[in-house]
Amino acid sequence: MTRLKRVLVILGSVVAVLVLAVGAGFTWLYTSADVSTVGSTDFRNELAIPPLAKSTLRKDGTRVFDLTMQAGEREFMPRRKTPTWGFSGDYLGPTLRAGRGEKVEVRIRNTLPEPSTVHWHGMHLPARMDGGPHQMIDAGGVWTPRWTVNQPAATLWYHPHPHGATEKHVQRGLAGMFLLDDDRTERLTLPRRYGVDDLPVIVQDVRFDGARFDHGHPLLASVGFLGDRTMVNGTLAPYREVGDELIRLRLLNASTARVYTFGFDDGRDFSLIGTDGGLLEQPAVMDRVKLSPGERAEIVVRMRPGERTVLRSHPLDAGMDFFNQRFSGGDDSFDVLQLRAAPSLRPSPGLPARLGELAVPDGSDSVRGRHFELKFSGINGRKMDMGRVDETVARGTAETWTIRNNDGMPHNFHVHDVQFRVLEVNGKRPPAALRGAKDTVFVPSGTTMKVAMRFDGPADPDTPYMYHCHLLYHEDQAMMGQFVVVEKGQRAGTPHPAHGHEGH
């Protein structure tokens, strides 16, 4: 008996020590998981503005751009050279710009040591030009997509989309903006001088290990990579001097997994004027806007002479559980960009009361519904298969898609080729920030969303478009599916990957 007791006591002690150790380990992980740069950012670097890409006009009116995917290095910090990738430069890429109705062509040369792709995020274009995982550009290869811009003015972007390696390629620096203009927007009194009162704001979170990027995923972070500081346009701790009363910020979340809740350090209001697919019907005044990876928001903020204000990312309020809130970055906060107003400012005309009509359908003419169950293990229970077409859509029709996340971790949802309207969030009218045209939407766990879109592109039964979670680790882990657009009554064909070779 006494021996049994002794064994039990020893066993009990061992268990108690283990429990304590695990508890202490978890407490350490928990307390070290949240990061903040609020109040500790010195704003010592002038914000870089990506140059506008040069283009040439061909006789037939085609606007031709050249992009080179290349390896390089950049001194994000003084005297520390970080190995990077970029488009026609060492990090990120130039801003492409084209007008509605223009024919565009982009000659892309891949000088990287591995194959990649260039996807035009938010662009309405033929599936073969989309730059998804079926349009691989070999190392040393060239790919020359061309299409006609036919959608409203918007802040779009481009980035690689090679199946299984998108996170890595974007993190190394392959991303850039693609701005679209149209006549109607030109006539509105909006800040529009690029780099002056109309600023691209490409936000990425990063972590450094010495001079190198550290792309390791934090322990217990189901979302993937989370950095411990932010960059804008590749600039750490950035400030920008501004000389106008109204400043338009084109916010792009080009991070791989992090969700931002943008606002200002003094809580001031701003006007949301545009979302992923272009302008809202009218400006919406708010003091916070949430952006998950891939989403954009155009906001206009009013400056007073001589003042400084900081664009900040606040902790996330998305109803996440205790565990996810901490380990998915929800408790983190960042000082993102300081705006410094000149002692006297050029007066800006007030914002127009109406911006325009939304071009996305309202669900009333949807000919069918589809359901998408978001799980890390796959959408609708299936992992991405390059050779399988998951959904077949009839050209010229509108549909209502229901997107549900009950997975216990945050996801978002991006559909290629189209812009959609959010009809409902958990059965309710969407908040103001989700009432514009969208191509990517944040879907935290416990959310069901209905969205409506129209498929107007040319039919191509053999070349699929993608829908997927835009948390890039999840996308790489095959949280993605494929749809083709066909003529009514036509069947889906067989996807066959086409490679971009020299002269292709």
User: Cβ of residue 411: shortest distance to Cu ion, in angstroms?
Assistant: 3
Which tokens sit at 192? 């529009």
CA separation for the pair 498, 378 (Å, rounded)? 25
Q: Is 339 in the site for Cu ion (CB under 5 A)?
A: no
Q: Is 449 in the site for Cu ion (CB under 5 A)?
A: no
Stretch binding Cu ion (CB under 5 A), from 140-148, 319-327, 337-345, 462-470? 462-470
Q: How would you class 429 by CB atoms within 10 Å of its CB: exposed for 0-12, middle for 13-18, buried for 19 or more?
A: exposed
Identity of the residue, 158 or 473, whose beta carbon is nearer to Cu ion in the bound complex? 473
| Beta carbons of 374 and 479 less than 8 angstroms apart | yes
Identity of the residue, 82 or 440, whose beta carbon is nearer to Cu ion in the bound complex? 440
Identity of the residue, 418 or 478, whose beta carbon is nearer to Cu ion in the bound complex? 478
Could you tell me which of 101, 183, 97 has the C-alpha nearest to residue 147?
101
Report DSSP letters for 100-111, one per residue. TT-EEEEEEEE-
User: Cβ of residue 414: shortest distance to Cu ion, in angstroms?
Assistant: 10
Identity of the residue, 241 or 321, whose beta carbon is nearer to Cu ion in the bound complex? 321
Identity of the residue, 226 or 469, whose beta carbon is nearer to Cu ion in the bound complex? 469
Which tokens sit at 206? 């990063």
Q: Is 345 in the site for Cu ion (CB under 5 A)?
A: no
Stretch binding Cu ion (CB under 5 A), from 14-22, 117-125, 289-297, 405-413? 405-413
Give residue 54's identity as a one-letter amino acid code: K
Stretch binding Cu ion (CB under 5 A), from 94-102, 337-345, 411-419, 456-464? 411-419
Selected binder of Cu ion within 47, 67, 252, 469 (CB under 5 A): 469
User: Cβ of residue 469: shortest distance to Cu ion, in angstroms?
Assistant: 3
Site for Cu ion in 83-142 (CB under 5 A): none
Identity of the residue, 50 or 224, whose beta carbon is nearer to Cu ion in the bound complex? 224
User: Cβ of residue 412: shortest distance to Cu ion, in angstroms?
Assistant: 7
CA separation for the pair 257, 294 (Å, rounded)? 9
Identity of the residue, 124 or 411, whose beta carbon is nearer to Cu ion in the bound complex? 411
Stretch binding Cu ion (CB under 5 A), from 131-139, 288-296, 339-347, 468-476? 468-476
Stretch binding Cu ion (CB under 5 A), from 204-212, 314-322, 378-386, 474-482? 474-482
User: Cβ of residue 472: shortest distance to Cu ion, in angstroms?
Assistant: 9
Stretch binding Cu ion (CB under 5 A), from 37-45, 68-76, 110-118, 403-411? 403-411
Report DSSP letters for 413-468, one per residue. EEESS--EEEEEETTBPPPGGGSS-BSEEEE-TTEEEEEEEE--SPP-TTS-EEEE
Q: Is 466 in the site for Cu ion (CB under 5 A)?
A: no
Q: Is 468 in the site for Cu ion (CB under 5 A)?
A: no
Q: Is 248 in the site for Cu ion (CB under 5 A)?
A: no
Identity of the residue, 163 or 411, whose beta carbon is nearer to Cu ion in the bound complex? 411
Could you tell me which of 181, 182, 178, 202 has the C-alpha nearest to residue 65?
178
Identity of the residue, 88 or 171, whose beta carbon is nearer to Cu ion in the bound complex? 171
CA separation for the pair 170, 42 (Å, rounded)? 26
Could you tell me which of 182, 164, 166, 163 has the C-alpha nearest to residue 174?
166
Selected binder of Cu ion within 404, 411, 435, 468 (CB under 5 A): 411
CA separation for the pair 46, 52 (Å, rounded)? 18
Identity of the residue, 91 or 260, whose beta carbon is nearer to Cu ion in the bound complex? 260
CA separation for the pair 411, 416 (Å, rounded)? 17
User: Cβ of residue 407: shortest distance to Cu ion, in angstroms?
Assistant: 8
Selected binder of Cu ion within 302, 435, 438, 474 (CB under 5 A): 474
Rg (CA), the chain: 24
Could you tell me which of 374, 395, 392, 396 has the C-alpha nearest to residue 383?
374
Q: Is 379 in the site for Cu ion (CB under 5 A)?
A: no
| Beta carbons of 233 and 201 less than 8 angstroms apart | yes
CA separation for the pair 137, 140 (Å, rounded)? 8
CA separation for the pair 380, 405 (Å, rounded)? 11
Number of residues near Cu ion (by CB under 5 A):
4
Stretch binding Cu ion (CB under 5 A), from 71-79, 154-162, 198-206, 471-479? 471-479
Q: Is 471 in the site for Cu ion (CB under 5 A)?
A: yes
Q: Is 33 in the site for Cu ion (CB under 5 A)?
A: no
Stretch binding Cu ion (CB under 5 A), from 124-132, 244-252, 299-307, 467-475? 467-475
Which tokens sit at 132? 């998804």
User: Cβ of residue 474: shortest distance to Cu ion, in angstroms?
Assistant: 3
SS (H, E, C) 375-417: CCCCECCECCCCCCCCEEEECCCEEEEEEEECCCCCEEEEECC
Identity of the residue, 87 or 413, whose beta carbon is nearer to Cu ion in the bound complex? 413
Put residue 122 in one of left, alpha, beta given phi > 0 → left and psi -120 to 50 → alpha.
left
Q: Is 404 in the site for Cu ion (CB under 5 A)?
A: no
Residues in the site for Cu ion, rule: CB under 5 A? 411, 469, 471, 474
